[in-house]
Amino acid sequence: MYEAIPASADLSRALHSWLLSWYAREKRDLPWRRTRDPYAIWISEIMLQQTQVKTVLPFYERFMARFPDVYALAEASLDDVLRIWAGLGYYSRARNLRPAAQRIVKKCGGKFPETEEGLRALPGIGRYTAGAILSIAWGKDAAVLDGNVMRVLSRLFAFDIDPRSAPGQKALWDLAERLLPEGKSASWNQALMELGALVCLSDNPTCLLCPVAASCEARIRGEVDRYPVRGERKKVPVVQGICAIVWRGKKVLFVQRPEEGLLGGLWEFPTAELRGWKPRAGTAEDFVRETLGLEGSVEATLGVVRHIFTHRDLRLHLFVYAAKGGRLRAGRYRAHQWVRPSEFERFPLSALTEKVVARLAVMGSGMTY
Ligand code: SF4
């Protein structure tokens, strides 16, 4: 249950006028704002989810140069897409792009669906992305609600519910739809997002420069820090993991994770999470023997690399392992290769594996390159 957030017609009109003129003056010149091509807007919106504009820019330019349209993307291999995406994180976003492009080519003759239902039937497109494509590419009156918009609306209306909770989402989507200025949703949606990105920041919003400050309920009450309200957050569990950097001569074993699941399709050193694990002598040897079928010995330890995922705080213990015998079993992986360290950059790697590679470079492997 939720109560609709009141927004009078006068207030809506004032917000439209202030925010749209501010956006016309202050908006950043971004490559995806120079086009109304739904393909370009789709790629940018997927990349921008949970990621800042300055991080996205080089990835977007490379992606559009390599896959300039939906046909090029539909024909790409998963590895091609992941290689361009590597380092941007949240890899399920990248994995969904290709099947979505293939569906657009095969079922829609290469044209993007122009309805919310049609767009949301595509892999990886939810209510937010559908709203962004509909409003920005075609000027339809569709709302968006991302982290920036949630924060701005929560403060403007001093909304007393956690915006990420189910009732919070329902109330804010409803408000975002009621606030849409007819025929101007493309600029309005982007203006709200831009205000959140440039002025109404999570920490220290610059209210003095804010075009809607006169009507901002949180500012008027002197309670900007209180919004958005946060419900109780679950603590992310700490999980221990093991990573074996397995050498055979001058080459290292690189494996590709299965396509489905966390970091699917990316390359890494053989790694496993060990819940409830306490480090002890022999763990690395057991891991390599049991999971890879190789015999050998640990030559060095490279300490612990920490990486925080959405649902866990991983502490990865790194071991350098010299393979001296046995028969490699790598059936649990999508593919494997023995590679020289100079070849690492040919592979799409997760941010976690990049950290392991950096540690290896800094500390040396104990083996000859
Ligand atoms: Fe955000 Fe401050 Fe503007 Fe309110 S006045 S919308 S808190 S920047």
Of 14-23, 55-64, 268-277, 308-317, which range is least confident?
268-277
User: Looking at the predicted structure, is the pLDDT value of residue 97 above 90?
Assistant: yes
**Which burial class, exposed, middle or buried, applies to 226 when counting CB atoms under 10 A from its CB (0-12, 13-18, 19+)?**
middle
In 3-state terms, what secondary structure has residue 320?
strand
pLDDT value for 277: 65
- Decide whether any atom of ligand 1 lies within 6 Å of the 207 Cβ: yes
Mean pLDDT across 47-54:
92
- Decide whether any atom of ligand 1 lies within 6 Å of the 15 Cβ: no
Mean pLDDT across 297-324:
92
pLDDT value for 108: 95
- Name the band, by pLDDT with cuts 50, 70 and 90, for residue 367: very low
Mean of pLDDT over the chain: 92
How far does Cα 297 stand from its chain's mean position? Answer: 38
Ligand 1: residue whose CA is nearest its atom 4? 216
Tell me how far the alpha carbon of residue 215 lies from the centroid of ligand 1, in angstroms: 9
Tell me how far the alpha carbon of residue 214 lies from the centroid of ligand 1, in angstroms: 9
pLDDT value for 28: 97
Closest atom of ligand 1 relative to the 207 alpha carbon: 2
pLDDT value for 366: 47
At residue 110's C-alpha, the angle toward residues 104 and 111, to 5°, is 85
pLDDT value for 295: 93
pLDDT value for 65: 98
Tokens linked to 45: 């919106």
Is the distance from CB of 41 to CB of 137 less than 8 angstroms?
A: yes
**Could you tell which of 18, 210, 220, 227 is best to mutate to test the pocket of ligand 1, judged by most ligand atoms within 8 Å of the CB?**
210
Measure the CA–CA gap between 213 and 229, rounded to whole angstroms.
19
pLDDT value for 227: 97
Pairing label, strands 294-308, 271-274: unpaired
The string of DSSP letters for 205-260 reads --GGG-TTGGG-HHHHTT-GGG-S---PPPPPPEEEEEEEEEEETTEEEEEE--SS
Residues with a known catalytic role: 45
User: Looking at the predicted structure, is the pLDDT value of residue 279 above 80?
Assistant: no
pLDDT value for 349: 86
Ligand 1: residue whose CA is nearest its atom 5? 213
The residues with which 339 forms a beta bridge, in sequence order, are 252
Of 42-51, 64-73, 99-108, 359-368, which range is least confident?
359-368
Summarize pLDDT for 218-237 with one digit per residue, the tens.
999 999 999 999 987 778 89
% of the chain residues with pLDDT over 70: 96
Is the distance from CB of 322 to CB of 367 less than 8 angstroms?
A: yes
- Decide whether any atom of ligand 1 lies within 6 Å of the 152 Cβ: yes
Closest atom of ligand 1 relative to the 199 alpha carbon: 8
Tokens linked to 152: 């701005």
pLDDT value for 369: 36
Tell me how far the alpha carbon of residue 221 lies from the centroid of ligand 1, in angstroms: 11
pTM for the full predicted model? 0.83
Mean pLDDT across 49-61:
94
Q: What amino acid occupies position 49?
A: Q
User: Looking at the predicted structure, is the pLDDT value of residue 365 above 70?
Assistant: no
Tokens linked to 251: 């080459």
Tell me how far the alpha carbon of residue 164 lies from the centroid of ligand 1, in angstroms: 19
Summarize pLDDT for 181-231 with one digit per residue, the tens.
999 999 999 999 999 999 999 999 999 999 999 999 999 999 999 999 998
**Could you tell which of 200, 208, 217, 227 is best to mutate to test the pocket of ligand 1, judged by most ligand atoms within 8 Å of the CB?**
200
- Decide whether any atom of ligand 1 lies within 6 Å of the 218 Cβ: yes
**Which burial class, exposed, middle or buried, applies to 111 when counting CB atoms under 10 A from its CB (0-12, 13-18, 19+)?**
exposed
- Name the band, by pLDDT with cuts 50, 70 and 90, for residue 64: very high
Tell me how far the alpha carbon of residue 52 lies from the centroid of ligand 1, in angstroms: 20
**Could you tell which of 18, 208, 212 is best to mutate to test the pocket of ligand 1, judged by most ligand atoms within 8 Å of the CB?**
212
% of the chain residues with pLDDT over 90: 75
Measure the CA–CA gap between 361 and 358, rounded to whole angstroms.
5
Tokens linked to 348: 């799409």
